[in-house]
Structure formats: C-alpha cells, structure tokens
Structure 1
Amino acid sequence: MVVPVPIDPTGQSGPTPGQARGRRWRRTSAGMYVPADVDSGRVEQRIVEAAAVLGPHGAVTGWAALCWSGARWFDGSDGRPVVIATHVNLRPDPRWVPCKEGIDPRDHDRVDGLPVTTAVRSVCFEARHAPDVATAVVALDMAAYSDLASLEECRVYTQWRLRTWTGVPQLRAALVLADENSWAPTESAMRLVWTDAGGMPRPLCNRPVFDLDGRHLGTPDLIDAELGVVGEYDGKDHFSSARRARDLTREERFRTHGLEPVTMVGADLADPAAFVARLRAAYQRASRRPAAERRWTLAQPRRWIPTETVAQRRALDPWDRARLLRHRRAESR
C-alpha cells in the first residue's frame, strides 16, 4: 500500500508543486498525493487513502477497520465507502463517510501503522448502522468467524459503553440471534430464514456429527440437534461435477445414519419460499423417523478438539489453528 504524501518543494518526500500537477501523481485528497500508477481500486489502498484525511484523534471504523484488522468477510467488494470517525469538517466524497460519534480513548487501536477503532467497537458500529437486524447479525457472525470479537465482548461493550447510542436496540436484537460458528454470510442468512420465515427451532452452526462409534460423519452448515434436520448451503463452488459427487455421497451418508438433509441455493436467498417448503417437508419426515434409526450423535469423542466458539479458537496454538481451521476456508462461500 502507498501512503499519500503532501507536496515537498525539494521533491524528496513527496512531489514538487510542478510534479503534483503532472500525470505521474494522483491527488487523493486536499494536498495529498500518491504516484499515478497506484491502484486506487484495491480495498487496502482505499482505506489508506481515506485514513489520510482523519486528522488528530480520528480512526477508520466499521467494516474497513475490520478488513484492515484481517477479517476475511469484510473485504469491501461491495464498493461501500470507508467509514472514518473524525471531527474534521470534510468535503463530501463518495470514497468515504465521516462519522462524528465520539471515540473513547480505549477504543483507539493502531494496526500496521493505521489508526483504527478496536474490533469490538468496529463491529458494534456495523451492527448499529446496518440497514436491518439480519444484516447486523451477519456482521457480528463474520467478526466472530475471524475471532476478532466474541459475542460476549460485544454484549459487555454494548451494556457499558454504548447504552443509548444510535442503533443500540438493533445491536441488542442482533446479539440475541448471532452465532460465533457461522462460516460464511450465506450460512448466516440461511439460519435466519430457517427460524424466521421457516418458523423452525434455532439450529446449531457447523457442529461436527459422529456415528455411534465416534467416527466423524461430517460437519453440516446447520443442524437441528433434536430431530436431525441438516441444512446445507450450496454456492457456485458446489456445482462442479466433482464437488457435486462429493456432496451427494455426504448427503447419502447423513441419510443412512438417520439425518434429514435440506439444501439452500443462491436463488433461495432472494425468494426463500421454495427453501422454506423443503425445510418444512424435511421436518415432517424427520418427525416420523423411528428413534431406532437415529445412528448419529453430537457427543464429541475425547480425541476431538472443539472449535465452535471464539474462545476455543483463540486458545489454539498456531499449529492446531492451521490444522483445525483450514477446512473453514475451503468450505466457506
């Protein structure tokens, strides 16, 4: 990334006035420049250029702070402007959105030299200012996915540091619905459809399932721990012939052990009616299944290392973290 620099009459630390007017430099904000060949489309560069206008005591916040701190799912691919917490009066600019909410000194952080708000403050900001509760839930889920903020940390922060701030009722509602073990925004969306439009009990997220001898059958996206209804989200990466073959084998393995799979696809996110019908049919079949056919359990064998919570994942050493969590990146979409 290239940090914007001011004009330097000597040309040593920045462009001279003449160079700044030429084609080899690009103006990023008032009096600040980067070389013209720097890619302004990269999300990290967008964040760096926005940070150049912060002024004293300001910080990048919201999705951009989470992105800069390493959150996988806050990648700026939707083109949203960078949110900057600052009291500087700035000219309107589509690249960033100033926010004049106060920042407690305890909420300041610096990551790789860039001033950002802490992960807990940043994700709570995202959830408070999200367009709806569902979007707020996804933000909390995905910050937890990267282990940047636990739900308990967010609850404590909300209780003691936010209280009557804008959007706190929505944040509190989202905290009730959020989960620390969702692996992708689409999984979070499926979970919310499952309980809201579907009207079914809240499922567990990415909980490993075993046969009665302790062999791992698979880790479905969602599972009803009581009836064994299993929810899977199939994104575009599931449509290749090889992947589809693996999915069908896995589905059959679930069925032969007494589980009842149901699948959501991308079109169901826009109009969940068809998925809801499949979900309710799966629940009806599961409710009629004799108890003797249940050959699965969520009880983890002693050798198993659980990774369902932020606390459990943070406690892993680097080797176990790389070994036990690599499948999340391979499976998530």
Structure 2
Amino acid sequence: MYVPASVDSDRPQQRVLEAATEIPGGHVTGWAAFAWAGARWFDGLDGNGNARPVPIVITNHRYRSRPGILLTAERLPLSQWYVLDGVSGTHPLRSAAYEARRASSLRRAVVVLDMALQTDRISIAELVEHAGTLNGWYGVEQFRQAIGLADENSWSPMEPEMRLHWELDLGLPRPLCNHPIFDLAGNHIGTPDLLDVEAGVVGEYDGGLHLAGERRASDIQRESLFRRAGLEYVTMTSIDRRDPTQFLRRTKEARERVLRLGPERRWTVDQPAWWTPTVTVEQRRSLTAADRERFLRHRAA
C-alpha cells in the first residue's frame, strides 16, 4: 500500500483511511468515525492544533497502538458497527459516547455531543437510551452528565462553550440555542447564538469571520434589530475563550441592566404558522432533501 506524494496526509479523512488500512478488522470510532462520514467539526485536532490519534476498536490483540493510532479493546456488538465507503466504523451513538467518555473535561464532552447532534445522526433521546447500556464503562458518568447539558441546535463548537459559561459559571437559566426571534407581528428579527428568554439577553460569538466587510456590517445591523425589539446584547470574542472573565462580567451587567430597566418586550419566541421549525433533531430529520438545503445551509456558514 502507498500514498501518492500529491495527497495531503494531514487531512482528517486521509488520516482515518490510512489508519484503518493499517489495522485490518478494526473499526474506527470517536472523532474519526464522524470525520470519515463527513461531519464538519470533527477535524481530529486537540485544543493546541495538534493531531490526535485515530481511535480504532479492535476485537483481537494482534495489534498495538502506534504513533497516530490509538487502539481500544472495548467490546463491540455487531449491531454497533457498519462499513462506509470501505472503512468500518462504529455507529454514531457509539462514536459520540466514546468521545464524550474520554473527553478531557465535562465541558469538552458537551461540545463533542453538541457537534455530534448537529449531524442529525443521533438525538438526545437516543443518547440517553445508549447511556443506559454502558453501566460500569470507563467515563460513563461524565457521558451522562454531558447529555444533561447538551443541546440539539448548536451550530458551532463556540456556542456550547459560551452557553456553559452562562449555565455553569454564572448559574443562569439555560438559554435557547439558535432559536428564531420574531416581532409581535410575526416577522423574523433574527436567530442569535443564545437567548436568555427570562431576561431578554442575546448572546453572540464573534470569531475572525465577523471582523471585516459585509459580515461585520450584517452583524451591526442584527444587533440594531435586536436592541430595537427591546433585547440586550452581549458578544463573546476569541480572546474571551482564553480568559472569559470579562465576558462573564459583561453578561452579568447586561442581564442586571435589562432586568432593572424592564423595557417593553417587542419580541417573542412563539413561531408563526408560516415558519418551518428546525431546532430539534426530529424536526430536521423530517425535512425533505430540498428543505434541508433551503433551511439548514446556514449551519455551514
């Protein structure tokens, strides 16, 4: 077996393919199974941008872990693996559970589950059922806690990070994720990353793509529309990911300010009859292929 020199061996799917070829009879799992299936947010990198090993479930002990490959001998029923484009991988439920159980922290486990749920290949109800079959497995308690904090409608890894700052660090009620907001006439105002329904505070993450050109102008217009409807607005940036202290302060002050002033609410989360809801996995699974392209393409933006 060989790889042509023109092939980029650092690409996640190429790494998965090469690792799977080295371990005949193995089944790729965790991030690698999602990456091979084309899931956007499973790039196989750690928090420092370093390549993580490809996890592979083996059913015998002829092989040993080696650089770039991490072997696990956890039991694997026949019903929990399948073959996609010539590579054997574990079922999405099993792959998500593996990642969450072995994540470096509870927060990281939540991010993993949110991004797995975004693929619509699993749901929270299915995760709960699967967790019930893992009594005594390594990391299962972290997996169960992560399920309780996961959301089916995150669009990027930064959103669960921000949401957990609100929930765990500030003790705020769970916000809605990417939930559409309408004015009282039923017109769509916008769909923010987070919404504190109780206080009327919108939370948005601004990464590098938000800093220039038309994207920045669009963000300014969005903020204006939210404020005009009586919503307070708070932004998290990439700097806040390294040290969230100031973001937490801004959020706390924004919430106190809006609750103290008590502005008239000119907005609602009640969806008008013409709107097609897509905030749950079940709702998205029910869409036709054409409707998925129409209503969900923003998730890849």
Task: Assess, with a 3 A threshold, how the Cα gap between structure 1 residues 119 and 231 changes in structure 2: closer, same or farther.
Answer: same
Question: Partner residue of 1:26?
Answer: none
1:61 aligns with one of 29, 32, 56: 29
Question: Which segments of 5 or more consecutive residues in structure 2 lack a partner in the other structure?
Answer: none
C-alpha displacement at 1:34, in angstroms?
3.6
- Whichever residue aligns with residue 286 of structure 2, its letter is A
Question: Partner residue of 1:286?
Answer: 258
Question: Partner residue of 2:87?
Answer: 114
- Whichever residue aligns with residue 168 of structure 2, its letter is D
| Kept after mapping to 2: 8 A contact 1:54/1:88 | no
Instruction: Give the TM-score normalised by structure 1.
Output: 0.86
Task: Assess, with a 3 A threshold, how the Cα gap between structure 1 residues 92 and 113 changes in structure 2: closer, same or farther.
Answer: closer
After superposing the two structures, state which structure 1 stretch, 260-269 or 33-42, moved more. 33-42
2:273 corresponds to 1:307: no
1:324 aligns with one of 260, 284, 295: 295
Question: Partner residue of 1:125?
Answer: 98
| Kept after mapping to 1: 8 A contact 2:115/2:156 | yes
Question: Which segments of 5 or more consecutive residues in structure 1 lack a partner in the other structure?
Answer: 6-32
Identity %: 50
How many pairs does the alignment contain? 296
Cα distance in 2, alignment partners of residues 216 and 240 from structure 1: 25
Task: Assess, with a 3 A threshold, how the Cα gap between structure 1 residues 295 and 37 changes in structure 2: closer, same or farther.
Answer: closer
C-alpha displacement at 1:242, in angstroms?
2.7
2:15 aligns with one of 36, 46, 51: 46
C-alpha displacement at 1:37, in angstroms?
4.4
2:163 aligns with one of 191, 205, 210: 191
Cα distance in 2, alignment partners of residues 38 and 242 from structure 1: 35
Question: Partner residue of 2:116?
Answer: 143
The one-character-per-residue Cα deviations of 1:76-126 (angstroms, maximum 9, x if unpaired) are 244111001113433442111011111111101111121000001000000
| Kept after mapping to 2: 8 A contact 1:230/1:260 | yes
SS in 2 for 1:196: helix
2:231 corresponds to 1:231: no
Task: Output aligned runs, 1:1-333, within 5 Å.
Answer: 5=1, 33-56=2-25, 58-77=26-45, 78=49, 79-86=51-58, 87-159=60-132, 161-290=133-262, 293-330=264-301
Cα distance in 2, alignment partners of residues 52 and 121 from structure 1: 21
Cα distance in 1, alignment partners of residues 180 and 7 from structure 2: 45
Cα distance in 2, alignment partners of residues 153 and 276 from structure 1: 33
Task: Please give the root-mean-square deviation of Cα atoms over the aligned residues, in Å.
Answer: 1.4
Cα distance in 1, alignment partners of residues 281 and 89 from structure 2: 21
- Whichever residue aligns with residue 102 of structure 1, its letter is R
- Whichever residue aligns with residue 226 of structure 1, its letter is E
Task: Tell which structure's C-alpha radius of gyration is larger.
Answer: 1
SS in 2 for 1:52: helix
| Kept after mapping to 2: 8 A contact 1:71/1:148 | no
After superposing the two structures, state which structure 1 stretch, 210-219 or 73-82, moved more. 73-82
Instruction: Give the TM-score normalised by structure 2.
Output: 0.95
